[in-house]
Copies of this chain bind each other. A is one copy, B any other.
Amino acid sequence: MHLLETKGQDYVQGFCIIKSLNVRTSANGSTYLDMVVGDAGGEVAAKLWSYDKTAHGEYQPGQIIKVRGTVSEWQGRDQLKITMIRLAAPGDDYDLMALVPCAPIDVEQTYADMHALVEKFENQDLKKLTLYFLDQNRAALLVHPGAFKLHHAMRGGLLYHTYTILRMAQAACQVYPQLNPELLYCGVILHDMAKLHELEADELGLCSGYTVAGNLLGHIAMGVAHIETAARELAIDPYIALMVEHMVLSHHGEPDTGSPVRPMFPEADALSELDMLDARMFIFSDHLRDISSGAFTDRIWALDNRKIFNHGLAPQGE
């Protein structure tokens, strides 16, 4: 966590985000704030002892704050004892990139590239349908995370995930000429679009959980329903809409992972496989970053409980 790196002689100081917050009473009867605060580099438990609402102000999760405090170790982990706290204010000089994990892409440019690719579609139905969703959701797409906790849980993560799959899809259309590129690209761009409605995210691109509809329906069924509604509104050829709906419905590959039907044509299957590959590549990198060469991670739930290995063999040329 970047904040902790500012550790000086006596104290640390800087900006961070409140991840969770509880007001508690200690054994001796006084009130204190029990928080987890974090930035793009990690999290730390924090306590504000003898909390006084009037003096210290009131806070809630998701807010950016400025704190000063001292760090000690408790049960083998760092703990921050806060001595000063206030909300970030306009004019404060902090770097959003340092506070929130952000996708390593220029989101404006990526969105523009994707838009431009679709504008060149020859199939007018696919073009109209895809642009409709891109245009409607531009603002959200620039910040929305790709997941709650697993892969691409970062500001702009949904766009980043969509874009890397799109790049692989372009390669796949070269290697497998039986694929219809425009159908595949449309499927790639729309496959997770309903995550905008499945995941509760704030304007920082931080996800705080699932929406009610996200829990009761999930982004796959929602995606199909949204395409159906849009297709009727835009008077898209129902056959084309059906193909796209199938791609969205089947993109998790099999019932156990959320798709009631399996992919039934090559573009749907390629989408499903490239989606899986992209998620896996992200999760691997995300976990390998934390371990040294020659070491294994703990078991990773999102990878079927496998442990993964850092072999330390750098790509040539690096």
Query: Would you call B260 and A73 a contact (CB within 8 A)?
Result: no
Q: How far is the CA of A74 from the CA of B304 in the complex (A)?
A: 37
Q: Which residues of A16-41 are within 8 A (CB) of B?
A: 22, 24-25, 27
Query: Would you call B171 and A175 a contact (CB within 8 A)?
Result: yes
Q: Which residues of A274-318 are within 8 A (CB) of B?
A: 274, 276-277, 280-281, 284-285, 288, 294, 296, 303-304, 306-311, 313-316
For A24, the chain B residues whose CB sits under 8 A away are: 73, 76
Q: How far is the CA of A245 from the CA of B217 in the complex (A)?
A: 8
Q: How far is the CA of A34 from the CA of B84 in the complex (A)?
A: 33
Asked if A87 lies at the interface with its beta carbon under 8 angstroms from chain B, I say no
What's the number of copies of this chain in the assembled complex?
6
Query: Would you call A215 and B273 a contact (CB within 8 A)?
Result: no
Residue from B254, B277, B285, B309 within 8 A of A304 (CB atoms) = B254
Chain A: how many interface residues by the 8 Å CB criterion?
Answer: 83
Stretch at the interface among A52-60, A90-98, A140-148, A177-185: A177-185
Asked if A200 lies at the interface with its beta carbon under 8 angstroms from chain B, I say no
For A123, the chain B residues whose CB sits under 8 A away are: 313, 316
Asked if A167 lies at the interface with its beta carbon under 8 angstroms from chain B, I say yes
For A10, the chain B residues whose CB sits under 8 A away are: none
**Other A-B pairs beyond A212-B294, A216-B249, A226-B228, 6, CB < 8 Å:** A25-B73, A123-B316, A167-B174, A171-B171, A215-B264, A264-B306
